[in-house]
Chain A
């Protein structure tokens, strides 16, 4: 175990150069954006003089090198700067919005896994059957339907026509107040506060966007499950296991699925990453106050601090996710080692 801790430490150290690189690149790229934040934030009627004043107030009249060192020294003190677009410190924004996005992403991903993995397995064990075709249809739909379309479609059916879903107004309907902040995940926080009313309200709001996201995530997971299960089922160890008269169940889960789980887990890591990106459109359609929406609005306004903070937090999140996936892999398969 200390050996493993050491390896985790080493992995974290390895992430340091990439984070430094990301800090530099995100700084340079935001500066390379063609927009001029001073003009944007000086307001509708600002003349040259007031634009210059705003530029000075934002520190944008200094040289790029100077700006960079100010940024880095603030960063080291945990100060990510102020988002001009929302008027709040970037750190505060990230801390309130990241849980919103993560809650949605995890729920969406969870739904996708719950549907896609059994579906993929069934499709692999019965190739050519109706369930295999269903799998194919769902995969094609998931890949080819843009999330904003699925989102609007679901809203139209379940909210607008049937009236089953609550109004698509973000994390909670108008009549509810957010539960006391502990984790930022409303589902968890409301349970911690023992407030089942708010829990159900938050859950109801979550259903449609999570399904939208889930349908999108379902495709790669189901495909990957099916493909890797097929190859595992056709392998020699499965044949041997069958020949030795092991039960169908044992062969399927212990031998085939465990081996198929490796590529599946790697795929899950990737799906999680791009779901955070795909969130943007879902967030927009469902008025979900998440991080994707924040980033897009910041980009449109050339809101440097916000864009940099977003890129940085995403980079850190990726480092953590990859690390966790690697750790899980070693647990599933002892042959995988983190030392290289």
Chain B
């Protein structure tokens, strides 16, 4: 089945690089081919399908186009990273806000063509967006973040003009169109393969993508590898430099590292901080990475459980954490410190920014005494075995340090499969670690998910009417609004003072690559975007 598909694709599109039973020896030098090793398997070629896992997002990123995309910037250390402030055209050639800012009209680019040669039309965009809001699950949630919930909001004006109506003006709508979710599907192909039970062709698109992107899927051997093949006709950006990308799934991190060091793998996505540090020191391969925007590794204290409802206790813990050791031992230095802020209130709206806490056991003890708990107390610290790489050393360091101020911590390891239920859905872990990162890079967006009561990532059960009101009024506000900075500063000030979530550090997303590979950028979706990569 896969083989037949592959052959079909190969006949259709890959005349330049015929796949033989095996490739001739000169191809072993692999010019034009990029070999990528990753740790997780993908389980679908369709992001909208229920159950599609995170690693599968990268397929969508590379084989489908969106109306708009984010630009790329160079960071201070010379690495490339996406730029959340720069939104560029992709399928949309241009766009225009209405005067009341309640609708955006997009002009589609006539150069946008699906793989079968047909033009990308407004009908295709509408069908794809309708699908994103109708199939439910995570895609619907993400669309909702951009105020898009109903098919009626997507209007076809003519073949090349498309409009989105939103109930109230929002700064989040446009950036939300650049995340992986609202990708554009060839609706003619999809509809031809839909059925009454499956009007959105989820079964078909699961294995047979129909897009317009810069790469096509040449083959997919589940549990082993998938192969991207360049779409030579793609004209919506600078021409990609790699003809074929083989993404091989290698479950063992040690094997991935060996493959990279030996030079058999060109690019290693999502390298653990420890390997990243060591490989950088060896200097044989280059490491590229940037701090993940809007993401924090935090120690969360659950206000539903005593004594964490007491602000003084939370502050005491925030003064008792061994921040420096955590950044060194758990993040291997690949983390932006989030401690040691100088002022009790934020000077600007940078987010994340260091909190005004540092390791100060005397102060911690004094605060505990003020809270009437001078003798300390007992509690459990839960962490996710699926993320044991950084959570385990962090937990041990925290246990040791809190012991010094009389807080007796029992460690509680929770298997990855149960973690989400326990920490985020039932919110029943007294003290635990959390690592939310928001795709849309606005502080108010982070607060919306992590500080509003009942919201998924507010695993602390934190509830503050002022924060609720502030987030509600700020979430859709333009950043140019003078009130915006005021509101955000106030939010951050409250987070500083009340610390239901104590930030440990801001993590990095690193990739290791051979010296001849360039153009790698780190993205908010934490996936590989092949389009910009070059190989000498």
Assess the A285–B252 pair: CB atoms within 8 A. Answer: yes
Assess the A300–B386 pair: CB atoms within 8 A. Answer: yes
Assess the B224–A289 pair: CB atoms within 8 A. Answer: yes
User: Which of A1-9, A166-174, A232-240, A322-330 is the contact stretch?
Assistant: A166-174
When A and B form their complex, what is the total count of cross-chain residue pairs whose Cβ atoms lie within 8 Å?
166
Assess the A159–B262 pair: CB atoms within 8 A. Answer: yes
Chain B residues with CB under 8 A of A169? 248, 250, 259, 264
Assess the A34–B418 pair: CB atoms within 8 A. Answer: yes
Assess the A88–B222 pair: CB atoms within 8 A. Answer: yes
Residue of B with least CB distance to A50: B137
Assess the B51–A87 pair: CB atoms within 8 A. Answer: yes
A152 sits at the interface (CB 8 A)? yes
Q: How many angstroms between the C-alpha atoms of A35 and B420 in the bound complex?
A: 9
Distance (whole angstroms) from the CB of A224 to the closest CB of chain B: 31
Chain B residues with CB under 8 A of A168? 250, 255, 258-259
B349 sits at the interface (CB 8 A)? no
Chain B residues with CB under 8 A of A57? 50
| Partner pick for B417 among A40, A48, A175, CB 8 A cutoff | A40
Q: Contact flags (1/0) for B59-70 with A, using CB distance below 8 Å?
A: 000000000000
Q: How many angstroms between the C-alpha atoms of A37 and B415 in the bound complex?
A: 13
Assess the B425–A48 pair: CB atoms within 8 A. Answer: yes
Assess the A35–B223 pair: CB atoms within 8 A. Answer: no
A68 sits at the interface (CB 8 A)? no
B251 sits at the interface (CB 8 A)? yes
Assess the A170–B141 pair: CB atoms within 8 A. Answer: no
Distance (whole angstroms) from the CB of A181 to the closest CB of chain B: 8
- Interface size for A (C-beta < 8 A) is 66
B377 sits at the interface (CB 8 A)? no
Assess the A174–B246 pair: CB atoms within 8 A. Answer: yes
A175-B22 contact given A87-B52, A156-B258, CB 8 Å threshold: yes
Q: How many angstroms between the C-alpha atoms of A84 and B43 in the bound complex?
A: 8
Assess the B420–A50 pair: CB atoms within 8 A. Answer: no
| Partner pick for B258 among A43, A155, A181, CB 8 A cutoff | A155
Q: How many angstroms between the C-alpha atoms of A69 and B255 in the bound complex?
A: 43
Q: How many angstroms between the C-alpha atoms of A152 and B259 in the bound complex?
A: 12
Chain A residues with CB under 8 A of B23? 175-176
Assess the B43–A87 pair: CB atoms within 8 A. Answer: yes
A308 sits at the interface (CB 8 A)? no
| Partner pick for A50 among B138, B250, B259, B449, CB 8 A cutoff | B138
Q: Contact flags (1/0) for B401-425 with A, using CB distance below 8 Å?
A: 0000000000000011110110011
B21 sits at the interface (CB 8 A)? yes
Q: How many angstroms between the C-alpha atoms of A294 and B19 in the bound complex?
A: 28
B91 sits at the interface (CB 8 A)? no
- Interface size for B (C-beta < 8 A) is 53
Q: How many angstroms between the C-alpha atoms of A152 and B256 in the bound complex?
A: 11
A36 sits at the interface (CB 8 A)? yes
Assess the B137–A43 pair: CB atoms within 8 A. Answer: yes
Interface positions, chain B 1-37, Cβ under 8 Å from A, are 3, 19, 21-23, 27-28, 35
User: Which of A131-139, A194-202, A242-250, A251-259 is the contact stretch?
Assistant: A194-202
Distance (whole angstroms) from the CB of A150 to the closest CB of chain B: 13
Q: How many angstroms between the C-alpha atoms of A174 and B136 in the bound complex?
A: 37
Distance (whole angstroms) from the CB of B164 to the closest CB of chain A: 21
Distance (whole angstroms) from the CB of B517 to the closest CB of chain A: 16
Chain B residues with CB under 8 A of A44? 54, 138
A79 sits at the interface (CB 8 A)? no
Q: How many angstroms between the C-alpha atoms of A39 and B393 in the bound complex?
A: 27
Residue of A with least CB distance to B246: A174
Residue of A with least CB distance to B135: A53
Assess the A195–B21 pair: CB atoms within 8 A. Answer: yes
A226 sits at the interface (CB 8 A)? no
Distance (whole angstroms) from the CB of A192 to the closest CB of chain B: 13
Interface positions, chain A 191-224, Cβ under 8 Å from B, are 195, 197-198, 201
Residue of A with least CB distance to B54: A44
A42 sits at the interface (CB 8 A)? yes
B456 sits at the interface (CB 8 A)? yes
A46-B138 contact given A93-B222, A160-B262, A293-B251, CB 8 Å threshold: yes
Assess the A86–B248 pair: CB atoms within 8 A. Answer: no
Chain B residues with CB under 8 A of A34? 415, 417-418
B140 sits at the interface (CB 8 A)? yes
Assess the B138–A300 pair: CB atoms within 8 A. Answer: no
Distance (whole angstroms) from the CB of A92 to the closest CB of chain B: 8
Assess the A159–B141 pair: CB atoms within 8 A. Answer: no
Q: How many angstroms between the C-alpha atoms of A221 and B53 in the bound complex?
A: 42
Chain A residues with CB under 8 A of B27? 175
| Partner pick for B262 among A54, A163, A170, A178, CB 8 A cutoff | A163
Q: Contact flags (1/0) for B350-370 with A, using CB distance below 8 Å?
A: 000000000000000000000
Chain B residues with CB under 8 A of A181? 3
| Partner pick for B21 among A148, A197, A293, CB 8 A cutoff | A197
Residue of B with least CB distance to A152: B254
Chain A residues with CB under 8 A of B54? 43-44
Assess the B50–A170 pair: CB atoms within 8 A. Answer: no
Q: A201-B22, A289-B223 are in contact. List 4 more A-B contacts (CB 8 A).
A: A58-B50, A169-B250, A174-B35, A287-B255
- Nearest 3 pairs between A and B by C-beta? A35-B417, A43-B138, A87-B43
- A sample of 12 cross-chain residue pairs with beta-carbon separation below 8 angstroms, ordered by A number, consists of A34-B415, A45-B142, A48-B425, A49-B136, A50-B141, A152-B252, A156-B258, A178-B3, A195-B21, A197-B21, A283-B251, A300-B415
